[in-house]
Chain A
């Protein structure tokens, strides 16, 4: 994801991305990303959680409108339903 974003940036396109793993974004360094610590496969929120899905997309819109920063910006999104994300980050079965 970060490499694709870098290419689009270098072609002059404005971009904003989600990163689920800040350590990877810190290595690749695409122009701008928001940190959304949801599990892999549930980037925008849980199944049928239309409110969170909407809010994550809206967070991208809001970030797109404020052009005065580069790097990784935190958000208030958290995954509290279960420990799936923790297991994914440890490469454990989930």
Chain B
């Protein structure tokens, strides 16, 4: 890791420039490990991204506020990649828009479904913003809502990818 503790560097960067109260939300133990209950070739696979993806008819994420934006966008998994919009304060979205598969590999996910590597793709992709300084609304409200939606859709496993 290049001898750099990025977690410490990022925390200080955010405190200096965005939110002086920012601190990581640490845990002592890993969260529960839930076993995949079917083979991957039969599994319904969902994807969650923190790339700040949204659709043109959805409100973009707030990238200005010091608290960050804890909300999510629901994107149908059959959306064409060229219809994906990206907004984020932590990476070059203009570049990623040239090939959104770099942060949201929808083409590859659908190919995996078509080839039988996975059973199916969940109805929706759930998209969040990567930077969220005040995390209670995320942990208490928005992420649990996504969990309920994923379970209602029959999701067998969730892939989560940052940007």
Is A90 engaged at the interface, CB distance under 8 Å to the other chain?
A: yes
- Complex Cα distance, B103 from A48, in Å, reads 12
- Complex Cα distance, B1 from A28, in Å, reads 18
| Interface set, chain B 1-49, CB cutoff 8 A to A | 1-2, 4-10, 13, 24-37, 40, 43, 48
How many residues of chain B get a CB closer than 8 Å to chain A's CBs?
71
Closest to A56 in B: B105
* Known A31-B31, A64-B36; contact A3-B135, beta-carbon cutoff 8 A: yes
How many residues of chain A get a CB closer than 8 Å to chain B's CBs?
58
Q: How far is the CB of B112 from chain A (nearest CB, A)?
A: 7
What are the residues of chain B within 8 A of A48 when measuring CB–CB? 99
What are the residues of chain B within 8 A of A24 when measuring CB–CB? 6-7, 10, 24
- Complex Cα distance, B107 from A40, in Å, reads 20
- Complex Cα distance, B7 from A3, in Å, reads 15
Other than the given A27-B24, A41-B88, 5 more pairs (CB < 8 A) read: A13-B150, A17-B160, A23-B7, A41-B95, A43-B163
Cβ contacts A to B, 11 pairs, < 8 Å: A3-B132, A3-B138, A18-B161, A26-B7, A30-B30, A41-B88, A41-B96, A42-B103, A44-B105, A54-B105, A86-B2
B contacts, CB < 8 Å to A: 1-2, 4-10, 13, 24-37, 40, 43, 48, 50-51, 88, 90-93, 95-96, 98-99, 101-103, 105, 107-109, 111-112, 117-118, 128, 130, 132, 135, 138-139, 143-144, 146-148, 150-151, 155-163
A contacts, CB < 8 Å to B: 1, 3-24, 26-32, 37, 39-48, 50, 53-54, 56-58, 60-61, 64-65, 67, 70-71, 86, 89-91
